[in-house]
Chain A
Amino acid sequence: MAKSMTRHDAQLLSLSFTLNGRLQELDVEPHELLLDVVRDRLGLTGAKRSCDVQVCGACTLLVDGRPVSACTTLAFEVRGRSVLTIEGLAENGKLHPLQQAFIEHGGFQCGFCTPGMILAAKALLDENPSPTEAELKHFMHGNICRCTGYKKIIESIMAAAEKMRGNG
């Protein structure tokens, strides 16, 4: 990785990665967090900062298809990788089945947890298209919602899973 110094003694790392299918190239300092880069420098504000300690899941992004807490991921870590945010989930204006199911089944109220919730659910369904409710709860227990009581979230994910399996 190219390293260079500025007169302010900042170490700059050249970061090249794929964001929602498009190549991004920018310089970051080692301490910059992925969440700040995505929200403040690249303008994608779907991922939220909430607990800031990897407990709540509101900042969930998918890196190479796997969920990470962007609040505690150093931005340089995604070099050469593929990052998906909630803004990249719909294709050609058509909502992803998970997004559509959350609308149809009332899977959100205030919506703050929803981007992370849907991305985590996508990671689950990509690796396990037919989860049991116990498997779903185990995978999703690190994503916290303070509105819904979770029942409608579970229903939404299960409905999306069925649709994605071609039974919808």
Chain B
Amino acid sequence: MLRRFRLEEPESVAEASELLGRFGESAKLYAGGTELLLAMKEGLVQYERLINIKKLKSLSEVSARDDTINIGALCTHHELETSMLLQQKVPALHKLEQNVANVRVRQCGTLGGNLCFAEPHADPGTLLMALGAKFIAEKSSGKREITADDFFVDAYETSLQPDELLTEIRVPVPGEYFRSAYLKFGYLERPSVGVAVAFNLNGAGLADVKIAVGCAGPAPRRVAEAEAVLSGKSKDDAAASLAEAGAAAGRASQAMSDLHGSQEYKEHIVGVLLKRAFQSAAG
């Protein structure tokens, strides 16, 4: 049962930002609604106004520009899982999008909404960290760039200011030597643990290693301790160090016990997924 609210339908990002500024915490941005409406139906949150931003059509495009793939925050998971451009340029993200929740959630849910709601048990933020993505935050007075690493603050909390909208996700186009993979495991509707691995692999070995863990703790996070284990190693040496890297990633994941598994269990699964993700990425 949803409580009554009023609907605002801004025609521009600036107008949406002004509405956020004017109504403060009594209003919330609404896009796909796949997370927000569930929380509202449960009575966990309540708003006097929802600001429907789906009229901002310019935020629904995927485009290639210079060295980045730019994804409008309002792109639905379904639009991304069927995007040829994404499939060609960032296949790991394309594959992730094919496996978000179920077909109905993918139909309505947006990538931007997923990131901004910052539900701990979600997929995209983890991979976007490993891919070195940057997020564009806009408000009436201008825009700024936030790295994926700095975007997630805590469970259900991001570094967006109250009157800012996430408008675009910019993913660097992988170069020739770039390898990446995202794997998740769970036995409920949402994943218990997700692990993303990305690195450049050439004759000199592994460089630019980025490993991120999601779902285990309150927010997705980079695990530098595990990255350090693999950095600079040859492919074979790295493959021989996966147990050490996995254990380091588990310890650094800030895993906490919840319905999706105990802390100890999640830390173990982080190690298992890290190993498999590395093997998948390295080929």
Contacts and interface: CB of A to CB of B under 8 A. Distances in A.
A33 interface: yes
Contacts of A133: none
A14 interface: no
B4 A54 contact: no
Given A54-B102, A55-B189, A66 B3 contact: no
A54 B77 CA distance: 15
B104 A54 contact: yes
Contacts of B101: 54, 142
Contact of B104 (A10, A13, A68, A76): A68
Residue of B34, B78, B103 with most chain A CB atoms under a 10 A cut-off: B103
Contacts, number: 63
A141 B101 CA distance: 10
A72 B37 contact: yes
A107 interface: no
Interface residues of A, number: 29
B5 interface: yes
Contacts of B34: 54, 72
Interface in B2-61: 2-7, 9, 33-34, 37-38, 41, 50
Given A30-B50, A54-B38, A74-B33, A142 B103 contact: yes
A142 B107 CA distance: 12
A54 B105 contact: yes
B4 A68 contact: no
B108 interface: yes
A13 B6 CA distance: 10
Contact of A142 (B4, B104, B108): B104
B37 A74 contact: yes
B5 A141 contact: no
Contacts of A53: 38, 41
A71 B7 CA distance: 19
Interface of A: 1, 10-11, 13, 29-33, 52-55, 57, 60, 66-69, 72-74, 76, 120, 123, 139-142
Closest 3 pairs between A and B when the two form their complex, measured CB to CB: A142-B102, A30-B7, A31-B2
Given A11-B7, A29-B4, A141-B102, 7 more contacts: A1-B9, A30-B5, A53-B38, A54-B38, A57-B102, A69-B108, A73-B108
8 contacts: A11-B6, A30-B6, A30-B50, A31-B3, A54-B101, A66-B78, A66-B107, A142-B102
